Structure 1
Amino acid sequence: MNIIKLSAIDSTNSYLKKLAQKSDLDTFTVVVAEHQTEGRGQMGTNWVSDYGKNLTFSILIKFKEFEIAYQFYLSMAVSLGLLEVLKKRVDVSLFIKWPNDILAENDKVAGILIENVLKGNFIRQSIIGMGINLNQELFPKDIENVTSLKNISGTHFNADQLLNKIVNSISYYVQFIEKKEFVFLKKRYMKTLYKFQKPSMFVDANDELFLGKIIDVEESGMLIIELENETTRKFSLKEVKFASR
């Protein structure tokens, strides 16, 4: 594992992407920063983090033969790898919120951003950006439903030790992609998915409120929700969200 440590950077994903274009980096090269000035989340959202209090890093993963059609299995593998490490460190229920946020009970404790480099119908390499709320205790008032490992446990965490365990855990789950053992990943993912098979209120892209329950996630990443009349609707990222909790 090659770890590159930075004091401050705009985005570890952007930095690692540029570095990978210039150099032949080993798979599982990691860039970690004390602070990101322009940390990014899904669909252009910002990741807010106090200097030196959280764990923000990116991992380069290379693939020999990973078809784009199966891309969501990478999201499953990464979120499962992160979840497994965090579950051993806090005494509350943790879930994966579709597509790959990590929740402690109902509050977000970690987020993941995956950016793929394609060649034909295959993913040649992926850059996995991760932000984990580690030791930050106060968050901006305009950010709702967010917490940190320290707030949950009362314990101060060592970022370097946690980083190594997370990368090793993700590496373990990524091997199931390389071996094409997708059924294993899907079962594990669905077992830990937030509100799976539980009636919940959702809001669609037109701000329409509706009742439904998550019944599946396609290998492309589409979320399948069953409605009250037992019909189903499919949603991509940002087309649906849980109603305010």
Structure 2
Amino acid sequence: MKLIKLDAIDSTNEFLKGLSNKHEVQNFTVVTAENQLKGKGQMGSKWDSESGKNLIMSVLIKNFLFDNETVFNLNVVVSLAVIRTLKKYNIPELSVKWPNDIMSANKKIGGILIENSIKGEGTITSIVGLGLNVNQVQFEYLPRASSLALICSSFFDKEEILLAIVDEMELITENYQISASQLWNEYTNELFRVGIPSAFTDENENNFMGIIKGVSSIGKLQILLEDDSICEYNLKEVQMLY
């Protein structure tokens, strides 16, 4: 693993993407920054982070995805790498809020943004962005946000957590082919409010009750409805109300 440390950058994802477009970059190269000026989340949403307090990182992963039908496998890998690592630090009530939020109880502590690009020869290179609230303790106007420091009343070593997460990513990807089914089961069990009756709203602002059953192989959220049918939703087609 190669680690590139930056003080301030517009976006670690964009920096690593540009680097990989111009040079041959080692698999699992990591870029981290103390301050990210134009961080982004899913669907272009903004990711704010107090300078120097949180873990801001991007990882290049190649030779794992080989077609568009399997891209969500990487979400499974990254989500489990983060959850497994944070469990070692005794962070309580961890879960993955589909598709890419890391939760502790009902508070968001992190977010994942994966950007895939298909190269000329058909291979897929992925840039995995992770923002994890570590030592920030003030979240003005963000009532659902929290951090490891707030939850555990202690401060953490960001680089130690970074190295542990990347080690876990490498371990899971190396063994993915022989344990894919087990990993998907583990991912399903880690989903936020899985198996619990919950309120949702769809893209037309219709509210309904349902129970999360899992995620399809292509990354759609599977919800059991009151008529006992299971409906699958893409990102932005449904939102949980909690």
TM-score normalised over the length of structure 1: 0.94
The 5 A counterparts of 1:1-245 are 1-63=1-63, 66-119=66-119, 123-141=123-141, 143-177=142-176, 179=177, 181-243=179-241, 245=242
Tell whether the 8 Å contact from 1:65 to 1:122 is kept in structure 2 after alignment. no
Change (3 A) 1:200 1:40: same
Tell whether the 8 Å contact from 2:61 to 2:127 is kept in structure 1 after alignment. yes
Distance 1:192 1:64 in 2: 22
Tell whether the 8 Å contact from 2:91 to 2:104 is kept in structure 1 after alignment. no
Residue 65 of structure 1 and its aligned partner are, at CA, apart by 5.8
Secondary structure of 1:137 counterpart: coil
Distance 1:108 1:57 in 2: 17
Distance 2:237 2:107 in 1: 21
Alignment deviations for residues 2-23 of structure 1 (CA, whole Å, 9 cap, x no partner): 0000000010000000000001
Tell whether the 8 Å contact from 2:64 to 2:173 is kept in structure 1 after alignment. no
Secondary structure of 2:66 counterpart: coil
Alignment deviations for residues 170-211 of structure 1 (CA, whole Å, 9 cap, x no partner): 11112234x264212211101111111211000111111100
Residue 64 of structure 1 and its aligned partner are, at CA, apart by 5.8
- In structure 2, give the amino acid aligned to 1:232: I
Distance 1:99 1:235 in 2: 11
Tell whether the 8 Å contact from 2:65 to 2:125 is kept in structure 1 after alignment. no
Distance 2:64 2:140 in 1: 42
Distance 1:180 1:134 in 2: 33
Alignment deviations for residues 130-167 of structure 1 (CA, whole Å, 9 cap, x no partner): 000000000121x2311000001111111111111111
Tell whether the 8 Å contact from 1:90 to 1:149 is kept in structure 2 after alignment. no
TM-score normalised over the length of structure 2: 0.95
Tell whether the 8 Å contact from 2:58 to 2:128 is kept in structure 1 after alignment. yes
Residue 215 of structure 1 and its aligned partner are, at CA, apart by 1.4
Distance 2:36 2:49 in 1: 7
Residue 216 of structure 1 and its aligned partner are, at CA, apart by 2.3
- In structure 2, give the amino acid aligned to 1:160: E
Residue 121 of structure 1 and its aligned partner are, at CA, apart by 10
Tell whether the 8 Å contact from 2:92 to 2:104 is kept in structure 1 after alignment. yes
Single out whichever of 168-177 and 114-123 deviates more from structure 2: 114-123
Identity %: 40
Residue 90 of structure 1 and its aligned partner are, at CA, apart by 3.1
Tell whether the 8 Å contact from 1:90 to 1:152 is kept in structure 2 after alignment. no
Distance 2:240 2:121 in 1: 33
Distance 1:211 1:24 in 2: 49
Q: Give the aligned CA root-mean-square deviation in angstroms.
A: 1.6
